[in-house]
Each structure stands twice: as structure tokens, then as C-alpha cells.
Amino acid sequence: PLRALARAERRMGRRADVVHLYHRGSELFPTPQERRIARDPGGRRILLVNWKPSLDHTWAQIAGGAIDPRIDRLAAHITRNFPERFFLTVHHEPENDVRQHPGSGMTAEDYAAMFRHVVRRLRRDGVRNAVTVMTYMGAPNWGASPWFDRLYPGDDVVDWVAMDPYADERVRTFGDLVDRTREGFARWPGTYRWMNAHLPGKPVMLAEWGVFERPGDPAFKERFFAGTRRQVRDYPRIKALVYFDSPHAPRGDTRFDTTPGALQAFSGLAHDPDLRAPAVPQQ
């Protein structure tokens, strides 16, 4: 993470305000290296930790206490080593893991119960510095599912809501990205609109977002980033943009500097004074 962060910051010409990290199972976080990232003497950063508590248990089993010793061990690690505030997502993008049949242990209701149990157990164990994030895929096919609304764990255990949208061949602008609709899913209004209607009191984060290369249109990223700088102001509830910068994202290359024009436009977005984070609270 330290090397990747240094490389990304050098390429975009500014420090990152938020650093997204991924953990699973019994891994303890933040690690010593991640704590160094958060406490950099040159300026503190906010950690966004994405944790899948178990890949070997169903959501229903986790909600029933099957991994409580693991949760307790993690809570002890956090309270002992990291008093700073950080974002915590519990099992991001659950939609494509849902198995909506009785007894699966992986229904939308099971997910909500699992999220609630993990957060309440961590809080009971003394973890009060985790700002909890419910992270959706934000895809129309899942959003239009009859069980989609039942994934939400509840206002008392969710501080922020997030989406993970990517600009594929169907997306032309930032507005398309955050409010993507699709023919055949008429009941889905778009993720930002849905959040406005159903979760009006929560700040919104793009916990992952990226722009794929367009064969035959090398200037697409440049236009997209320039347009994002203008259009993001139309979505005032969005309080964080966490870019997924990778040459090997699942559906293509999302690096922000694949052309000089793309780099210039992304750097302009990154340096926009309206998109700079306030001082990171120490606790």
C-alpha cells in the first residue's frame, strides 16, 4: 500500500485524502503500514477499510454469532492500536451474493442482520471511531430487484452510504455514472436518486469509481474527468470521491493518466478547491 500510494500521489500531483484498503476474514487492521499511511507527518489521511468478515460462513451464521471471537479480537486490536476515526464498510457490494430463498443464509434480510450484528458487536467492544459505510454496487439490474430495499441495515448502524459505479460503454457523463439506468429496469431511478428518496439523511460516497478505456476514443477519459469537475456540484450529497486506479480492473484499464489529456483533466479535478478534504479528526 505504501508504494502504491506514493506512486499514485506522484502521478496525480497531490496527496490522497482517503486511502481505500481491503481485508477479509481474520486479518487484523489497520496494519502497521496502514497506520503509517494514516499518520503521515506530512499530513494525515483517512482510511477507508473494506472488510468481509468471513468467506466461510453465511450472513445468517455471522448474525447468529458464529464469528464473534473474531470480531472481539479485531475490536481489541483497533482499540489498542488505532484511536483515529476511519471509514468501515462491512462486506461491500452484497447484491450479487444474495441468494433469496429460505434457508440460504444469504438473503437480503440476512445481510442486513449480519451488518447490524458486526457493527453492534464492535461498538459493544469499544470501537467508537469507526464511521460505518453501507456500500452498494449501484447497478440497475440489482437495484430493480424486489429485495433490494431490504439490504439496508438501518440508520442506527449506518453513518454513510456509498456506491461503486464504473463508466462502461453505457456511461457518457458523471451524471450517467451516479444515476445509471438501463432499458428493461424501469423501476430503477438511478442510485443517487434512490438514495435521495430512501436515505435522505446520509452523506454519499463513491467508494470506488473508475473510467474504462474506450477503444477508438482515446480522449474519452479526458472529457469525462473534465465533465466530472463541472457536474459533481449538481450532486451536493456526494462528499467523497475515491478513485479505483488500476491497469487491471475487472473490465479494463481505469488508470487516470493513460493519456496526457486524461492526466491533465484528472489533476484539475483533484486540485479543485471545492474537492479538498477538511482536516482529518485525530479521534
Q: Is the dihedral of CA 32, 250, 116, 55 positive or negative?
A: negative
Distance CA 187, CA 181 (A): 9
Give long-range contacts, CB 8 A cutoff, 24+ apart: 98-103.
98/145, 98/147, 98/151, 100/145, 100/147
56: exposed, middle or buried (Cβ count in 10 Å: 0-12, 13-18, 19+): exposed
The residue assigned the cell 446520509 is 202
Note if 208 is an active site residue. yes
CB of 178 closer than 8 Å to CB of 165 = yes
Residue 209, phi then psi, degrees to nearest 5: -150, 150
Catalytic residue among 93, 95, 213, 222: 93
Which contiguous run of DSSP H or E holds residue 114?
A: helix 108-124
Q: Is the dihedral of CA 13, 15, 18, 19 positive or negative?
A: positive
Catalytic residue among 34, 208, 213, 222: 208
The residues with which 21 forms a beta bridge, in sequence order, are: 49
How many other CB atoms are found less than 10 A from the CB of residue 103? 9
The residues with which 210 forms a beta bridge, in sequence order, are: 166
Distance CA 204, CA 187 (A): 21
Note if 222 is an active site residue. no
Active site residue ranges: 93, 208
